[in-house]
Amino acid sequence: MGGTLSSQFEWADSGLAGGEKDGSGRLRTSLINHDLLHELARVIALICQKHPNEARAEFRRSLQWSTSLRPNHFSSAQAGTWNVSVGRHKSVVTSVATRSDSAPLFQLEPAPPFDGTVFIARVSSLETLNKVLNVSEDTRLKELQKVLEENRDPISLIFGVKNSEGGAALLQVFDEVNQETDPKRREQASKLYKLLLVVNSYDLELMKTVVKHLENGQNLNVHKVAEEIQMLSAFSGRDLKSALVSIDWESDYTFANGCKAPPWRQVYGEIGYVDVKTGEQERLIITASRKGYFLNGGYSADEKGIDKLNYEPASEVFQTLTELLRSNSKQFAVNIDHQEYRYSPNNVSGRWSCKAVVHIWMNNSVKNESDNEIEEHSNAKKRVDSNRRNHPKHKSLGYTMEDRLKAGKKTPLHKGKDGTAGQQKSAHGNRGDSGKRGGRLGRTQSDDDYEFEESESDVSSEEEVQEKRQETTELPAEYYQIQKLVKYLRIGNQTATIIAICSLRDFDLSNDFNQLAIRDVGGLETLINLLDTDDPKCKIGALKILKDISQNVAIRSAIADLGGMQALVDLLRDSDEDLKCLAAETIAHCAKNASNRRAVRRFGGIRKLVRLLKRTGSNEERVAISGALALATCSKSSRNKEAIQSAGAIPLLASLLESQNEKLLIPVVAILQECASSEQYRVAIRSSGMIKFLVENLSSNNEALQTHCASAIFKCAEEDETRDLVRQFGGLTPLVGLLDNVSNKELLVAATGAVWKCAQNLENVASLNRLNTIKKLVGLMENQPEDVLVNVVGALGACAQSADGRQAIREGGGITPLVNLLTGTNQSLLVNVTTAVGASALDSECMAIIDRLDGVRLLWSLLKSTNPHVQASAAWAISPCIEHAKDAGEMVRSFVGGLELIVSLLKSDNVEVLASVCAAIANIAKDEENLAVITDHGVVPMLAKLTNTRNDKLRKHLAEAIARCCHWGNNRVAFGTASAVAPLVRYLKSPDDEVHRSTARALHQLSMDPDNCITMHEHGVVQLLLGMVGSTDTALQEAAAGTIGNIRR
């Protein structure tokens, strides 16, 4: 802990290491420092546990450092240990335990200028230091690092010695103990001497460990490289504070000895290759060898245009990966020493969590080809049982690295017109084992590999669905038969390969177990390799199998890991139409996986799939169907949607909609449905005349086609032009008819959504009322899933905007179920329900029912929601309820704490919430008693604080609220004092007439105070109001004239 630590730590200011002890510096971010900090934390805790008396010894001089701990961290800590004093200007934490001079053993206080941004900690015993580290929990390594950085020679400070080297320090402290005559001081010195002996013993143990580590660590090995990669990957990310964008092994392939480099490079001492993307967006390929790390030549194209790795060194050799990256990336050099270690109590050795990876590497072994059948069957059983226990990187493949090596040793790469089997190419050839980020090695990585798209996130992707396989004690006979066929598929000639493919096709490939059996025995890699042959029969046979088995989630994920998408995309340009169709249909299944969708775009597959829609050739419709199926799946990605439009798909899709073939129409409309979430697509769909065809196909007998058409209209009807077109083409009648199909929930969601969006047009509402739509919608409010309820209630809210709609909802018994839904938890549903209830409240009879059912109280309770959309929607609904209630003032006062709650929402940061609350306050303030209450709750200064807004919607309701609040006491004077008058004058320059009306009313009320009149006149209100006196709006005219009259007085 003493000399060993001080000599082994790596400092950013290396000139001070082991030499100068004064001053402060930064510890480098490295594996050695991480391990030493972890060991130091462990030793401190161990000393306090095993030697408690020595740990209580007082330091000669306190250790002092700037800490990230704050007083609130100690408030919840162990009671009776800390005194937390929270003051108005200064908060201090001290330990209950004190020194011999009555000073606390620990003190935390803000540093000058005492603004609470920087805190200084001082500690005077090892026991107290350990308690402080326990308070810091997982940031204890950061605290310990700060202690060392700001106390470069802690041994000298703790023991008061001039020379901190072990032997000299012991002698010096021993002499002080003998020479001390004062009993108390002698006792303290004796405790320090014992503590130094304990520290020295741990230091000797640590020194032995370090020496042994140095003896074994003269050369790099795969463990050390993996540990450093693991550490640096924790500091990687897209933000500017990260040291790197990404870092990983260049290949997932691992050889029997654990190395990543191919055997012919291992003879040169190379271990593997590291792929790094720096903060400057530069890609570095680094060779990890026994002697150290160096940059190699990277990837470059050969004479055939194939990218190959240049293994020749392109830099000097560095002992650590961190040092190499420091010299080649300025952002890395700046950011790396600012990264924070994380403390894990279970990680005693201080190593990064990579045991699972190392375990797989070290336990890989290539089995002999001559293993007998019984052993092979036994191993197959073990492989299946251990699928879920493998490392996450290979979990989706479903078999161990040992299986991959065994498969790699046997799998041929069928090449050549004669169909003879060639040997599988190396991991660093042009077609070998695939890297995990998108395909075959040798390809230069594009930026797409590192991009994250919300629409393609792993959270929403179906590949997150966990593979559920029934536990079986015995593997069925089919498993062993498939294993034998895959073996023939690897080692046989062209004829044997085709026979094996045909035999595999005889199995039920829709069965999950058979699908996964092909994967488990390594057949998936072989099938992907067969796509590169020149024999069309082999390719067609492999595609037929891949098309069937790729319907399985785990198979799709495995294809992504094996980089199979490039081969499938390449087949889309083949002259054989059968091959193109099979490839497109396989892509349609595989693209349900987000990684595969990105791969299709990255390899140029989108444009090739769009070409298939042109319907040229003998099987034109079949080819177009296959292409449309693939594009429908690929269109789930926002980037792919852009690529589809850029490839010119819109006119082709419009022409395909004229077809009468439902097998073609379903995927075509599915593409439009997915893409209609984009405004550009909605404009293109509307301008291309596709709405007519979507409406016509609503009357189809195919429910899948009806669902896609209704869903497409649901998304396209965001614009009023589309809503008009749906009505003009007679689309409302079939949409209402689809509401009767309650058994098909997916169709019901699409139909109710389309009705909701179309009902936002008042002409459509009149048509829907004639079709008795509201009665059907009210009937759907019971025993339906929330997706349906959200759309149904949204449609009722839209219909309630008209008087006939409100009457129909009331007569259909819709008010009661609407109020009952106010107690739900679905946020989208609550927004729509509050909107519907608020719209219904415009009818006095509806309002009476809402009041009787205590609906206003439920609306008020929703103001407590943490969702600003729900808060705003509830506040908007409260306004018409107050306006149309019989005794609104008394009703509002009956809500305990209700007025205080609504006033407190004026502190919100959401403009919609503020506007809705101002509208509600304007109605509340109509009652004098309620106005007095909200004035006491501070409504005037809160409203005044909002007057500098530039949002016209908020301006309108804010001015109305100010006008209403002026009717109580000295509120007019208070608004003037709060500087609310001058900003209101600027509202008159807004282009919105409604803002002018409400502002003029507010100014008219405020002008009744002489001081406010002066402020208005100084800001030029008279000229602005003179133009409004001649307005056709009577309310605006009267308010403007009244304000000018008050100013003239």
Task: For 64-103, write each residue's pLDDT tens digit.
Answer: 888 888 887 777 666 568 888 776 667 788 888 888 888 8
Sign of CA dihedral 725, 727, 729, 733: positive
Whether the pLDDT of residue 924 is over 50: the answer is yes
The confidence score (pLDDT) of residue 210 equals 60
pLDDT band at 864 (very low <50, low <70, confident <90, very high): very high
Other Cβ atoms closer than 10 A to 648: 14
The confidence score (pLDDT) of residue 366 equals 30
Q: What is the DSSP string of 906-925?
A: GG-S-HHHHHHHHHHHHHHT
Q: What is the CA radius of gyration of the chain?
A: 38
Whether the pLDDT of residue 24 is over 70: the answer is no
Stronger pLDDT, 165 or 802, i.e. the higher one: 802
- The Cα 866–Cα 835 span in angstroms is 18
Whether the pLDDT of residue 22 is over 80: the answer is no
Residue of 758, 759, 761, 741 whose CA lies nearest to 749:
741
**What pTM, to 2 d.p., does this model score?**
0.59
H/E segment holding residue 780: none
CA–centroid distance for 114 within its chain? 38
Q: What is the DSSP string of 87-118?
A: -SS-EEEEESSB-TTS-BSEEEEEPTT-SSS-
H/E segment holding residue 64: strand 58-67
Whether the pLDDT of residue 46 is over 90: the answer is no
pLDDT band at 568 (very low <50, low <70, confident <90, very high): very high
The confidence score (pLDDT) of residue 111 equals 83
Q: Average pLDDT for residues 1001-1020, to the nearest whole number?
A: 91
Whether the pLDDT of residue 584 is over 80: the answer is yes
What does each C-alpha distance from 29 to 402, 660, 817 come to in angstroms? 35, 66, 62
The confidence score (pLDDT) of residue 308 equals 83
| Rounded (5°) CA angle 758-764-765 | 100
Does residue 706 contact residue 740 with C-beta atoms inside 8 Å? no
106 bridge partner residues: 123
The confidence score (pLDDT) of residue 605 equals 92
From 93-107, 753-767, 811-825, the region with the lowest mean pLDDT: 93-107
DSSP state of 318: B
Whether the pLDDT of residue 378 is over 50: the answer is no
- The Cα 365–Cα 600 span in angstroms is 35
- The Cα 553–Cα 464 span in angstroms is 9
Residue position matching structure tokens 């199926």: 629
The confidence score (pLDDT) of residue 212 equals 58
The confidence score (pLDDT) of residue 533 equals 83
Q: Average pLDDT for residues 939-949, to the nearest whole number?
A: 93
Other Cβ atoms closer than 10 A to 812: 16
pLDDT band at 774 (very low <50, low <70, confident <90, very high): very high
Whether the pLDDT of residue 637 is over 70: the answer is yes
Whether the pLDDT of residue 750 is over 80: the answer is yes
pLDDT band at 723 (very low <50, low <70, confident <90, very high): very high
Q: Average pLDDT for residues 941-960, to the nearest whole number?
A: 93
φ, ψ dihedrals at 139, nearest 5°? -100, 20
Average pLDDT of every residue of the chain: 80
- The Cα 565–Cα 54 span in angstroms is 66
From 390-404, 832-846, 881-895, the region with the lowest mean pLDDT: 390-404
Sign of CA dihedral 993, 995, 1000, 1005: positive
What is the 3-class SS of 559-609, one letter each residue?
HHHHCCHHHHHHHHHCCCHHHHHHHHHHHHHHCCCHHHHHHHHHCCHHHHH
| pLDDT tens string 831-861 | 999 999 999 999 999 999 999 999 999 999 9
Please state whether beta strands 91-95 and 106-110 pair in parallel, antiparallel, or not at all (unpaired). Answer: antiparallel
3-state secondary structure at position 983: helix
- The Cα 11–Cα 153 span in angstroms is 13
The confidence score (pLDDT) of residue 469 equals 44
Percent of the chain with pLDDT over 90: 36
The confidence score (pLDDT) of residue 436 equals 34
- Which class for 965: exposed (0-12), middle (13-18), buried (19 or more C-beta within 10 A)? buried
Task: Copy the structure tokens of residue 782.
Answer: 């019971």
58 bridge partner residues: 125
The confidence score (pLDDT) of residue 1016 equals 92
The confidence score (pLDDT) of residue 913 equals 95
Q: What is the DSSP string of 690-743?
A: HHHHHHHGGG-S-HHHHHHHHHHHHHHTTSHHHHHHHHHTT-HHHHHHHTT--S
Stronger pLDDT, 425 or 27, i.e. the higher one: 27
Whether the pLDDT of residue 216 is over 60: the answer is no
The confidence score (pLDDT) of residue 1005 equals 92
- The Cα 7–Cα 10 span in angstroms is 8
Alpha helix positions (H), 885-966: 888-893, 898-904, 911-924, 928-936, 939-945, 952-965
The number of residues in the chain equals 1049
| pLDDT tens string 452-510 | 444 444 334 444 444 444 444 456 677 778 877 887 777 767 787 888 888 888 888 88
